[in-house]
Structure 1
C-alpha cells in the first residue's frame, strides 16, 4: 500500500474576536472557504481558507491566545508570496485593509507591501524579484 506524500507547509491560525460573524474581507481578498464550523449562535468557531494553495485558519480566541484588537498590537505578520504584489495589495485595500507600507522593490531582492486586515492582522505581500 502506497502512502500519500504530504508536503510540509505552514497553515497559520489567525485568532479573531469571539462572536465574529463576518469574514467577507478574506473572500474579497481572494480566499476560498474550505470548511467552517460555527457556534450555536452562528458565529465562527473555525474556518479554513485558502489563497492560491496557501491554507490558513481563522479561529475564535481560545487557549489563552490573543487577537490583535484585544492585544492592542501586532501579534504576528503573515508573509504571503504571490505572483503580482500590486494586484493583491490593491484588492486588499479595496476590501477594507489599511495600508502599512506601499508596494516597494527592495535592494535585498524582494517586492513587498504590507497591510492590516480588519481584525488587526498584518500581512506582508511579497515576491522575490
Structure 2
C-alpha cells in the first residue's frame, strides 16, 4: 500500500503554554490530539484545518525555537481560503496582528499577512 505524501508543519511554542485556542477561533482549526506535560502545559497539539494537519510543539533542546525566543520567524504558513478578508478579520479578533493588509496582487492572488500570538507568520490567500 502506497503512502500519500502530505505536508504537516510543526510550529514551535514557548514552554509552559496551556492555551492555543487562537487557531480554533482564527481559522476554525479542530484540535485532533494533545499531549500535555505533568503541569498541564502543552507538549504537542495536533490541529486540522479542512483535513490539513499542523502541530504545535513546545521548545526542546534542539535548534528549533519559538519565534519569541528567536526574535523573528523564518517561515510563513500560507493557507488558501474562500474569503480572505473574513479570515483575516477573524484572526485579528482572535489576537493576530496584521503585517500586510489584504489586497489583490497582479500575479493573481488576494493576500493578507498576520502574525499569531506566538509570533508565527501566516499568509491568508486565494487565487483571483
**TM bracket, shorter-chain basis:** over 0.9
* 2:44 alignment partner in structure 1: 46
* 2:94 alignment partner in structure 1: 95
2:12 is equivalent to residue 8 of structure 1: no
Judge conservation of contact 1:66–1:75 (CA < 8 Å) in 2. no
Deviations 1:58-86 (A, max 9, x none): 00012221110010112311011111111
* 2:58 alignment partner in structure 1: 60
In the comparison of the two structures, how many residue pairs are matched? 126
CA distance in 2, matches of 1:64, 1:100: 26
SS of aligned partner of 2:91: helix
Deviations 1:83-123 (A, max 9, x none): 11111111100000001111111000011000000000000
| TM-score in terms of structure 2 length | 0.93
SS of aligned partner of 1:26: helix
Shift of 1:6: 4.0
| RMSD, matched Cα | 1.1
| TM-score in terms of structure 1 length | 0.93
Deviations 1:40-69 (A, max 9, x none): 111000000011222100000122211100
2:105 is equivalent to residue 118 of structure 1: no
* 2:22 alignment partner in structure 1: 25
Q: Which runs of 5+ in 1 are unaligned?
A: none
Stretches (4+) displaced over 3 A: none
Q: Which runs of 5+ in 2 are unaligned?
A: none
SS of aligned partner of 1:75: coil
